[in-house]
Amino acid sequence: MFNRKIYLKKYREQHKNKAHDYGNEYRKQHPRDLGKQRIYNRKYYQEHREHLVEIATRNLKRRRCQQKLKAVALFGGKCQKCGYNKCVDALDFHHEVPSIKEYGMGVIFGMSWKKILIELEKCELLCSNCHRETHAALRLDGNN
C-alpha cells in the first residue's frame, strides 16, 4: 500500500543534503545586500503597515490571553478566597502588598514570562468580587 507520509519522509531524507547544497550555492552566488534589504523591508512595512500592525496586535492579544490562562492555572484556576472558577475574565491578580508592586497586572501580560513570574509571586488570585471586597476593606483600614 502506498503510504504518503512514509514516502515523503523518505524523499526528504534522500534530498535533504541536495536542498542544503543548493541553498549554500545560491547564497554564494547571490550574497545578501543588507542595505538593499533594509530599503525593501522599510518599503514593505510602509506599504503593508495596517496589515502588519493588525497581525502584531492580534499576536499580542493572543499572547496576553495565553499568558493569563497559564498564570491562572498556576494558582489552581480559582479564587483563593471563595473558590470561584467559572470565568477567567472575572479572575484578577491582587497585589497583597501594593508597595512592592513593580508593574500593574494590566501591563504585565505581554511581557516575558520571567517578569510575569516575578510579579505573580507578589500576588494572589481573586475573583472580581473578592478583589473589590479586599480593596474596600483596605480602604476602610486607611491603607489604600
Q: Which of residues 42-81 bind Zn ion (CB under 5 A)?
A: 79, 81
CA 21, 38, 112, 94 dihedral sign is negative
Q: 127, 2, 22: which is closest to 77 by C-alpha?
A: 127
Rule CB under 5 A: is residue 103 a binding residue for Zn ion?
no
Note whether 123 binds Zn ion by CB under 5 A. Answer: no
Q: Answer yes or no whether residue 120 interacts with Zn ion by CB under 5 A.
A: no
Residues 74-93 that bind Zn ion (CB under 5 A): 79, 81-82, 84
Q: Tell me the closest approach of the beta carbon of residue 67 to Zn ion, in angstroms.
A: 21
* Min dist. Cβ of residue 83 to Zn ion (A): 7
CB of 100 closer than 8 Å to CB of 92: no
- Give me the least distance between CB of 126 and Zn ion, in Å please: 5
Residue 92, strand partner residues: 126
User: Given its phi and psi angles, is residue 83 left (phi above 0), alpha (psi -120 to 50 degrees) or beta?
Assistant: left
- For Zn ion, the binding residues (CB under 5 A) are 79, 81-82, 84, 127, 130
